[in-house]
Chain A
Amino acid sequence: MSASAPSRIGQAQATSAITRAISEPAEVRWILISIAVFFLVVFLFLPLGVIFSTALADGIRVYLRTFRDPDTISAVRLTLLTAAIAVPMNLIFGVAAAWAIGKFEFVGKSLLVTLIDLPFSVSPVVSGLIYVLLFGLQGLLGPWLIAHGIRIIFAVPGIVLATIFVTFPFVARELLPMVQAQGNEEEEAALTLGGSGWQTFLRVTLPNVKWALLYGVILCNARAMGEFGAVSVVSGHIRGLTDTMPLHIEVLYNDYQFVPAFAVASLLALLALVTLILKSVIEWKAAQQVGGDFSGETNP
């Protein structure tokens, strides 16, 4: 009993010596934290701050008046419509791609993954341009489309297509690593027990990857509602018709209508903040689920 006390003190001293040896003096720590915080405040908090302070500069009533403007309302509506089409399309694709790539072995798999990622490395402006070159007046299919009275460029279909292109990889990208990590054993068990393919997918695969799926959808949605460059090329900027929220912000800003511009911007900034909060929540939930799996418990 008495012999163990000094050794424990010795141990504590040794531990604190190690801690000291592999950490920095308090003043160095303080300086590093200050520089990092300063950098983040300048680059992240100030932009957020200026959005809300300019939007509310003339009071809440002027702020709210922006959203009674018919052009603003139509921009909000078009943005919601675009996301409502683009996100489900890419969701279906993401699930199909994750299933094909994650559950099977075939030749050319890594090439396929690279091709799926391609839209992320294309400049937004170029993403819009390729649709103009395909469907525009001067484009490859332009004359045929005109002969049949179909408008894609400078109309809503073009905006939707460009948005689908820039948000193309999001769901697949988030889902694929999770589907791969899960392996095939659980599905094979379900199939052996007589489950059909769809049953296996809905009851076994989907619950396992639900957080990654949700995460991909949220990221996809944020980008779909906020896309500017690609949509700007194909939209034609017809006020009240083909202006999405980001394009409407540009129009207002270039008209020196700063308060309305920042009012619309504040909605998109709120969307971004909600996205970040959801992302944190999902990461926490997913970590919990993985933790539960490791300790041998089944998740309810």
Chain B
Amino acid sequence: MSIRFKQRSIMPGFGLSFGYTLFYLCLIVLIPLSAAFLKASKLSWHQFWHIVLSPRALASYRLSFGASLVGAAINLVFGILVAWVLVRYEFPGKRVFDSLVDLPFALPTAVAGISLTTIYAPNGWLGKPLAAVGIKAAYTWVGVAIALTFIGLPFVVRTVQPVLEDLDKELEEAAASLGAGRFQTFARVLLPTILPAAITGFSMAFARAVGEYGSVIFIAGNMPMRTEITPLLIITKLQEYDYAGATAIAVAMLVVSFALLLPINLLQSWSSRREGKEFSPDAPAAVSLEPLYSATESR
């Protein structure tokens, strides 16, 4: 029998739902996205590379990628710690902390931006003590990293948390009965188990941070060559009516974020495979609504 596009089914409504899905997807996402590539294709290769590799653009990539990496790394360490504490220990207010972990997803980025700036400004709640020890946070790359830490905070917590919850106590008991110390058990048994999920969360936080705009521009100071993130550079070029420049950098960013999608998807299937095989072989899929934004943002 020849290969069919769709398997036979008695369920109705495939034509309508599939057709509408495809139509709406093309209308809202695919056609506008291809407009950017079409516009960029009007530039010659030479022009394209000249814009994309200009010193100002390179400085913005360094800041965007560097600060995103710092933010994601902070979230990797503290995310594992927070997930551990929320799953394993009891303390007053635990449920409130647990729910508030998602705040960076729910709080509009502009609101996050102005409040972080107010906190870390030289006369702010934390800016003042930091300034006293000689750290200038707001309007430097440190401020950018702080904002990117904030917006990436939920990713690692929310990817590691379910893995820790499903973890079989017997593994740890086995390690302990074989004479492993508590730290040894953590480093040799627990950490390798949660690592795939943690790295997935790390890369999601990184991917999200690279494109972030609203929460950063208030705290960054926005000085060309020094504290100008790549998305801001696109806006600046637009405001100067330099559409070609804005498009070229936007296409470069699109290519990078699509390139990040592949490793993230691979990581995700790797971690869900590990999880599935070792801990909950026949757990029903999607029992809880746990995936929340972690599954959504930048997957």
Contacts and interface: CB of A to CB of B under 8 A. Distances in A.
Do A and B pair up? The answer is yes
Interface of A: 18, 21-24, 28-29, 32-33, 35-37, 39-40, 42-48, 50-51, 54, 92-93, 96-97, 99-101, 103-107, 112, 114-126, 129-134, 136, 138-140, 161, 164-165, 168-170, 173-174, 177-178, 180-181, 184, 187-188, 191, 196-197, 200-201, 211-212, 215, 219, 222, 225-229, 232-233, 245-247, 249-250, 253, 258, 261-262, 265, 268-269, 271-273, 275-277, 279-280, 282-283, 286-287, 290
A100 B35 contact: no
Interface stretch (B55-63, B192-200, B279-287): B279-287
Contacts of B254: 122, 126
Given A32-B84, A120-B296, A164-B28, A46 B103 contact: no
B111 A51 contact: yes
A198 B100 CA distance: 39
Interface in B89-139: 89, 91, 97, 99-112, 114-116, 118-119, 124-126
Interface of B: 3, 5-7, 9-14, 16-18, 20-22, 24-25, 28-33, 35-36, 38-39, 78, 81-82, 84-86, 88-89, 91, 97, 99-112, 114-116, 118-119, 124-126, 149-150, 153, 169, 172-173, 176-177, 182, 185, 207, 210-214, 218, 230-232, 234-235, 238, 241, 243, 246-247, 250, 253-254, 257-258, 260-261, 265, 284-293, 295-299
A129 B234 contact: yes
A280 B96 CA distance: 10
Q: Which 7 A-B pairs have the closest CB atoms?
A: A226-B108, A123-B211, A197-B12, A21-B176, A228-B214, A229-B213, A272-B106
Contacts of B30: 115
Given A140-B39, A233-B238, A268 B107 contact: yes
Contacts of B86: 36
A43 to B, nearest CB: 6
Contact of A130 (B32, B211, B289): B32
Nearest to A215: B289
Contacts of B126: 42, 46
Nearest to A285: B289
Contact of A229 (B89, B114, B231): B231
B173 A18 contact: yes
A25 to B, nearest CB: 8
Contact of A32 (B11, B81, B214, B293): B81
Nearest to B40: A133
A210 to B, nearest CB: 12
B11 A249 contact: no
A123 B148 CA distance: 14
B246 to A, nearest CB: 6
A36 to B, nearest CB: 4
Contacts of A201: 13
B89 A32 contact: yes
Contact of A126 (B25, B28, B250, B290): B250
Contact of A129 (B6, B36, B91): B36
A268 B241 CA distance: 32
Contact of B289 (A35, A133, A174, A188): A174
Given A96-B16, A104-B11, A170-B296, A36 B213 contact: no
A95 to B, nearest CB: 8
A157 to B, nearest CB: 13
Nearest to A22: B172
Contacts of B124: 50
B11 A188 contact: yes
B169 to A, nearest CB: 6
A184 B12 CA distance: 11
B78 A269 contact: no
A126 B149 contact: no
B261 A121 contact: yes
Contacts of A139: 35, 39
Given A33-B85, A39-B82, A125-B234, A140 B38 contact: yes
A120 B101 CA distance: 20
B111 A54 contact: no
Contacts of B111: 51, 226, 246, 249, 265, 268-269, 272
Interface centre among A130, A215, A262 (most CB of B within 10 A): A130
Contacts of A116: 21, 25
A175 to B, nearest CB: 10
A269 B38 contact: no
Nearest to B32: A130
A35 B81 contact: yes
Given A43-B153, A121-B257, 13 more contacts: A40-B97, A47-B103, A48-B103, A50-B119, A123-B211, A124-B212, A125-B235, A125-B250, A133-B247, A177-B286, A226-B108, A232-B214, A283-B289
A126 B32 CA distance: 11
A178 B218 CA distance: 39
Contact of A124 (B16, B25, B88, B213): B213
A104 B7 contact: yes
Contacts of B29: 115, 118-119, 165, 168
A90 B168 CA distance: 40
Given A40-B100, A96-B21, A122 B172 contact: no
A268 B200 CA distance: 30
